[in-house]
Amino acid sequence: MKKFPRILSASAAALMLFGCSANNDSSFESDSAISQTQQTTDVASTAANTGESISDVLPVLSIETKSKDANVLDFINKPVAGHVSEAIASWTPNYKIPPEPYYEDCTITLKDKNGEVTVDSADAKVKVRGNWTTLYDKKPLKIKFNEKQSMLGLNNGAEQKSWLLLAEYKDASMLRNKAALYASREILSEDGLYAADTDFVQVIINGEYLGLYLLSDTLQVSSNRVNITEPKKDYTGTDIGYFMEYDGYFDYEDELHKFTLDLAGNAPLTAFNGSDNGQKMRALPATKMEHKKPVGMTIKSDIYSQEQHDFIENFVNNTYKIMYEAAYHDKAFVFDADYKNISENTKITPQQAVENVVDVQSLVDMYIISELTCDADIYWSSFYMDADFGADGKKKLTFEAPWDFDSSMGNKDRCIDGTGFYASNVVPDVDGGSKFGGYDTINPWLVVLAHQDWYQDMVRKTWTKAYDNGVFERTCKLISDDSTNLTNDFEKNYQKWNNIKNNSDFVNELSEPEKKCKTEKEAADFLLDWLNSRIEFLNEQWHT
């Protein structure tokens, strides 16, 4: 077995033990930082107005609001997601509910890294998007063009109306989403599956510098993104594609676009820790009194009838039951011709029963991505799947479209030394699990097949192929190269926002090594060292 090359700076080797900086003095005065912020804003404003680029190496995206009202920029500064405001109001007396995100009419101009205009004053709407990230000063944004646009050649130059600007506010390296999505595309594209494409851009709004953002695809049904059958408006038949999220926020959706999970009667699962002695765990609350919060399914794609809703709810719940019966009772169950009921079938193997209704390779891919990144939200949200019952659909539950990695890869205290199995194991909730007053839980989709030898054989084969093809080496190189080549762009962003130092909004979420990082370079070195350790651990487990 070849040894994975460790791409490290001179200082990075000690980061896992000692954090990012020996000097963690919080008494440093911020006057100079404030002065630098003002200077950066002034320079950016001048550059925007004269046409001079604010970056030597990055594209520049300019947003101009059509309204010239004095308070027009409230639309990027004040909104907070409604369910987040409701949650805060429930424990905060006299909390004033801020506005929910709303669209503002704008024009968008995009210049590539050579200064060439690739999108010229295109009409669009822009709004804040996200969940808890909408609380931060620098908020992520959604762009919705009136006409489809190609953006910097992302996703093979696909033209789409909707694009995202990710703020990367609580990730001091600003590189976790980009790196994780890069590795995801490398793995998933081998199987014809989707992961968002990304690139950094400097953003100006109404002539003022807004910061460094990660321009990204959205997660949506499209021939260029999640490629499943789209229904025509108001079509009510069930022979369509369904795009869904395993989602702790599902209860905030309207009734047509959410459903609860049965999970084989909330049957217990055996966590996977690399052996057969994993802890027993149920993914859902066993009683109404249990502290654990329920997680259900959100239907993210367009549906227009209760019949469609009930069809996909039944399919997802029965598909999970087929998986569970195969893995835990060694039984094969199959759907009837209408995909309404399931019954035992002794003529096929349990593995075949699963393969009839699940694209198992897609689940293997997503498991590897999840195990590589150790995302703290894996039990709760941003875990996507789809099923296509259109004329050309494969009629299997398929896992793709990985998302939201700003809490992954050591940013939160999950597998902080890079070792141990995580994605199919018992994981703590956002409050730190049962040891810290929260609860422990598990992602049922990632664990239900985890103890099957044939499934683990697929994991080893897929990992070995990706490793030998250089996927993980290139991912590490991306982190190293961006941190080095974009130094000035990162500095401009942090002079504007200063959120590595002024991080009170999220510091309690960060791991101890991450808390000590005082520059983007230190944060990137820690990320790179963590990822190298993680790759080394998984390679020892899986490489054949």
Q: pLDDT at position 56, please?
A: 83
Answer yes or no: is pLDDT of 417 > 50.
yes
Q: For residue 128, give the amino acid letter.
A: V
pLDDT, one tens digit per residue, over 1-43 is: 444 444 444 444 444 444 444 333 333 333 333 333 344 444 4
Q: For residue 486, give the amino acid letter.
A: L
pLDDT, one tens digit per residue, over 496-528 is: 999 999 999 999 999 999 999 999 999 999 999
How much is the average pLDDT of 69-97? 95
Q: At what angle do helices 471-485 and 487-497 cross, to 10 degrees?
A: 60
Answer yes or no: is pLDDT of 229 > 70.
yes
Q: pLDDT at position 479, please?
A: 99
pLDDT, one tens digit per residue, over 179-214 is: 999 999 999 999 999 999 999 999 999 999 999 999
Q: pLDDT at position 32, please?
A: 35
pLDDT, one tens digit per residue, over 349-406 is: 999 999 999 999 999 999 999 999 999 999 999 999 999 999 999 999 999 999 999 9
Contact 375, 530 (CB under 8 A): no
CB atoms inside a 10 Å sphere around CB 513: 25
How much is the average pLDDT of 97-104? 97
Q: At what angle do helices 520-542 and 176-188 cross, to 10 degrees?
A: 30
How much is the average pLDDT of 426-432? 93
Contact 52, 46 (CB under 8 A): yes
How large a percentage of the chain has pLDDT more than 90? 88
Q: pLDDT at position 26, please?
A: 36
Q: pLDDT at position 54, please?
A: 82
What backbone torsions phi and psi does residue 282 show, to the nearest 5 degrees? Answer: -100, 140
Contact 143, 165 (CB under 8 A): yes
Q: pLDDT at position 289, please?
A: 83
| 210 Cβ contact partners less than 8 Å away, ≥ 6 residues apart | 63, 76, 138, 203, 204, 496
pLDDT, one tens digit per residue, over 258-273 is: 999 999 999 999 999 9
Q: pLDDT at position 262, please?
A: 98
How much is the average pLDDT of 309-330? 99
Q: pLDDT at position 53, please?
A: 57
Q: pLDDT at position 145, please?
A: 99
